Structure formats: structure tokens, C-alpha cells
Structure 1
Amino acid sequence: MLVYVVATALAVLFTYISVVYDKTLKDSLQKSRYVYLKPRIDVWQKLTLYVLRVASVLPLVLVAGFRYKVGTDWGNYLRSFRSVTHGKDGHYGEKGYRFIQKFVAFFTSNYIWLFLLCAIIFAGFYFVGIYKMSINPPLSVALIVATSIYFSFLNGMRQGLAQAILFFSLRYVFKRDWKRFLIFVLLASSFHKSSLVFLIVYILYGFKIDIKRIIFYIVIFGMVGLAGGQLVKYVVMKTKYAHYYMSAFADGGFEWLWFFISTAILVVMCCYYENGQKSELKGQFNVLLWMQMISVIFCLISATVPESNRIVWMFNIGQILSLPILISLEKDKRWRLVLLVLILGFYMLATYIAIRGGSHRVLPYRMSFGGE
């Protein structure tokens, strides 16, 4: 567990340093305008900023890239890659992931390069998205790990890559650029088809939220989901995903821990709804609130619909942006600190319990440089 703690701490530290350095550069540009100097940032300053940002990405990339037998599906990805290096068509995943396999196999048979490339893509989309969208990048980086998003990637790389791309696509939801949003959602679906569900997020941007009706929505959709479990089973059993109903995925377990945390966050977001409407981030806050509500609804039906937690994970990516916004809406510094400690504390505790309990099978951590 220590390796994950250290990697996260280093990532957060370098993110913080890069944010401070970037702010310093912008402040110097602002001051130079007042003294009639030509405002500019020289090449070395830009290079320093880029180096700091790359340094913030590296710890999580290296831990994910050089892992050995870490993650539930690690063996499946290895076997699929081995089949490609032996001249066969990789049988695992959608076209986007298969392309990555073939691309790596064209240059080397060392599987480590596959895991490294996937880790770079995963972290790249998240970190660029965070630097572009988050009002508190260091906290957002910490939340990648605290919310188990990072560990779910170590478990299932395909969906992890898809979620990273979907996270980046939120930028175009906020900018109301449906063409680029669609492109990135389709790109994400080339790694995991469930990503197409995310298209609804663009539409939700324009829908007003009635806080009094949120509980009504959750109850109604939750009941529909629970009652429709058999219908979903009937449909899925006629597809290639029928094996989920005949495997350990259909054990009927309810995600109590994540349901509690997701519901608690939804309640707190509702409490700060009025503040959110007065903020310049009103549009973002509303979309992220919708995403949180969808996450809670799918947590509700996790006992009847196998793998519905994948949808929960998909919509939980919004928390990387919503939680920093939520904390910023509290004007009292002391209560802001309380919110920060409670949110990070609950998430870190839940993730620790889940990981120690065998979730995602990321413990013990082992490292390899390939060549197996």
C-alpha cells in the first residue's frame, strides 16, 4: 500500500508546485503590463512548467506501467497481448484497445510497454483535463486515487482508458462544443462500449434541477431499476455479455459502502445548491450534480444488475471536479477545511477498506520490467 501512498503524494506535490509556478508566471505578466514592458514568458520558463507537469504525471504512470500481476484482469491483458505478438488477432476488448496492442506489438514483444503506454494515456487525459478544468488541481489529483478511479484502472485498463477520455470530454460539455464532445465519446467507446451512455451528459447541461425532486427521481428510477432487473437480464442474456449473469459478477451484492459515500456527497451538493447557482461555475456545478444523482441511482440497482457499478464508476469521474467546486462554495475557511478533511478522509478510508479487502486485486504490489 505504501507505494500507492508515496506515488500519490509525489503526484500531488508536483501538481501543487506546477500550479504555484504557473500562477507566478501569470502574475509577473500582469505586473509587466503596468510598467509598460512587453509581457512574455521565455522558453526556459515554459520548459520548466512543462517539466513540472510531466513530473506530476510520472509517479502514477510508473507505478501502473511497471506493475506485475497487479489488478484483477492483468492476466487477461497479458494473454491477449501475447496472442498479438504471436501473429494472432488480439481477442480482448474493442477496436481502440486492439489497435494499441498491435501498435506496441509492432515494435516489441515486451508487455511492459503495453502497460506503460496505457498508463500514459490514462494519466495524460486525466491530468490535462485537471489542469484545464479543475479549480484545485492538487486536490483533483489526490481524488483520482482516493476515489478508487486509479485502482479500477489497474483492474480493468480498457474501461479505465475510456473513463479518462470521458473525463477530458467534460471540457467540451462545459464549452458547449457538441462536435468535439461526440468525437471523444466515440473514441472512448472504442475502448469500452458502455461509454456511449455518457452522451446523456451533454443534454443534461441544459436541464434545470429542482432540488425538491431529486429524492423523487432517485426513488422512482431506483424502483424502476430494481423492478426492471429481470428485463435487463432477459436482454443481456441474448448478447455476448450473457456470461456476466453466469459468473461471480452476478453475486447480487449491494455496493453499500459506495452507495453511502455517493449519497452523502449528493446530499452535501444539494445543501450547497443555492451557492452553486450564484457561482460563475453554475453550469459545471449543475452537470456534475446530475452526474452524482445518476451515480446514486446505479448504486441502488447494483444488487440486481451485474456490472452496474461500471456505470457508477463512469459517472463518478465528475467528483474529481465537483468536490473542489463544492469545497470552494463554502465561504467560511474553517468549514471549508472541515469539508476537505471529511471528504478526503471518508474516501481514503473507504478505498483502504476496499483495497485491503481484495477489491481490484492491487495488493500486494509487485514490479517487473517485462521479459516474461
Structure 2
Amino acid sequence: MYVSLLLSGFVSRGNGPLRNQFYYLWLFVLFLFVGFRYRVGCDWGGYLVIFENSRIYETSSTTEQAFWLLNSLLHYLQLDYPYINVVSSGIFSLGLHQIAKRQPDRLSILILSFPILIINLAMSGIRQAIALGILCFAFNAFIDMSLLRCVLFTLIASMFHTSAGAFLMLTPFVRGRFSRQRIILGGSSRCRAFIIY
């Protein structure tokens, strides 16, 4: 897969329209590759336990309620456990696209993302992949200096994986320049995020 992706990048050098076509093709192929895997990923068994527990219990004691509700929705729709990978892959791919589409060379973003983000994260940690996909929207909001959207997407991401809440420490920097006061404010928001989660 990776060699083919690299070859696509090599043969399309200097040809913007072709690289763009390769980008959309590979984005779809990688969505399928990640979403329709079976028994792949170090957390496969752990997420299967969560899936089965959400069939038995209506609520969860964890703070990641959105992930619990997603599992409950799959039960309601009578879909088997592997479909959570499809949802996770879809959200992750959509988020990655939000980042890539703003770059001058989208295909290179996929090539660079494949070894770590796609293989090590999206194909292993389902909650983390969903959270990262949503955080991509937050990162774009940060670039756009949209405080409300940045905070909103970060909070939604943290409902799938609490570690996403750490990015709340960036909110003081959405608007304005770096200063000692903003750094202290960012550090204190990090502490508040840990207390909440």
C-alpha cells in the first residue's frame, strides 16, 4: 500500500491536476483500508468488550459518553462490532481531509500521514481516531481564529477520548499574540482540563 502511495506521488510530480485526482482516489482507498479491516489493531479486543457492555448497560461511568452512545447506536441499528471501524475511519478521513484540503499539496499530506497517523493510530485506536478526526476541525478553527468553533470541536472530541481535552490549553492563543499572561492562562486551562477529566 505504502509503496503504491509513494509511486503515485512520484509519477504525478509537477502535475497538479493528476496529484489532486490521486489524492481523492487514495483518500477513499485508505478509508476502505482502515474502515473494513478485521481483527487488526492492538485494541481490537478491548473495544469489543466496550461494544458488548454497551449492549448490556444503558449508561457508562466513563466520561467518554459519545463513544458509548455510538456503540449503543450500532446496537440499535443491529450492526455488528466491525462497523464501528467504518464510522471511526469515516470521521478520521473527513478530519484529515479538512487539514489536507488547505495545503498546496494534498497528496503529500496523505503520504506523510500513512506510517504514523493512519497505520499506528487510525488502525489501532478507534476512540483516538475519532477524536483526532474531530480535532482536525478544531485545528482549522484555531487557524481561522474562531474561538467558539475551536472550543466546541475540542470538547466534542474529548467526549470520544478524554486526552483531546488537553488541547483546550490552546484556547488562550486562538486570538492575539503569545505573551507570558497567555502562556500562564493556557497552563491553567490544562490543569482545569485534567481536573474535569
* 1:181 is aligned to 2:178: no
* 1:197 is aligned to 2:197: no
* 1:170 is aligned to 2:139: yes
Residue in 1 that maps onto 2:90: 120
Residue in 1 that maps onto 2:189: none
Residue in 2 that maps onto 1:140: 109
Do 2:91 and 2:130's aligned partners in 1 also have CA atoms closer than 8 Å? yes
* 1:149 is aligned to 2:117: yes
Q: 1:77/1:7 Cα in 2 relative to 1: closer, same or farther (>3 Å)?
A: farther
- The CA distance in 2 between the partners of 1:159 and 1:172, in whole Å, is 20
**SS of equivalent to 2:123:** helix
Residue in 1 that maps onto 2:186: none
| Residue pairs, 1:250-329, within 5 angstroms | none
Do 2:65 and 2:159's aligned partners in 1 also have CA atoms closer than 8 Å? yes
Aligned counterpart in structure 2 of residue 110 of structure 1, from 80, 88, 98:
80
* 1:69 is aligned to 2:39: yes
Residue in 1 that maps onto 2:30: 60
Root-mean-square deviation (CA, aligned residues, Å) is: 3.5
- The CA distance in 2 between the partners of 1:166 and 1:127, in whole Å, is 12
Note the C-alpha offset of 1:59.
Answer: 1.6
Letter in 1 for 2:117: I
Do 1:12 and 1:139's aligned partners in 2 also have CA atoms closer than 8 Å? yes
**SS of equivalent to 1:161:** helix
Count, aligned residues: 179
Letter in 2 for 1:72: C
Letter in 1 for 2:160: F
* 1:98 is aligned to 2:95: no
* 1:78 is aligned to 2:75: no
Residue in 1 that maps onto 2:2: 5
Note the C-alpha offset of 1:68.
Answer: 2.2
- The CA distance in 2 between the partners of 1:192 and 1:203, in whole Å, is 22
- The CA distance in 1 between the partners of 2:4 and 2:42, in whole Å, is 21
Aligned counterpart in structure 1 of residue 127 of structure 2, from 153, 158, 170:
158
Q: 1:191/1:8 Cα in 2 relative to 1: closer, same or farther (>3 Å)?
A: farther
Q: 1:70/1:93 Cα in 2 relative to 1: closer, same or farther (>3 Å)?
A: farther
Do 1:12 and 1:141's aligned partners in 2 also have CA atoms closer than 8 Å? no
Note the C-alpha offset of 1:56.
Answer: 3.2
Letter in 1 for 2:100: I
Letter in 1 for 2:173: L
- The CA distance in 1 between the partners of 2:31 and 2:131, in whole Å, is 16
TM-score by length of 2: 0.73
Do 1:125 and 1:165's aligned partners in 2 also have CA atoms closer than 8 Å? yes
* 1:20 is aligned to 2:14: no
Q: 1:11/1:141 Cα in 2 relative to 1: closer, same or farther (>3 Å)?
A: farther
- The CA distance in 1 between the partners of 2:44 and 2:8, in whole Å, is 24
- The CA distance in 2 between the partners of 1:59 and 1:9, in whole Å, is 14
Q: Percent identity?
A: 23
In structure 2, runs of 5+ residues without a counterpart are 180-193
Do 2:23 and 2:110's aligned partners in 1 also have CA atoms closer than 8 Å? no
- The CA distance in 2 between the partners of 1:67 and 1:58, in whole Å, is 14
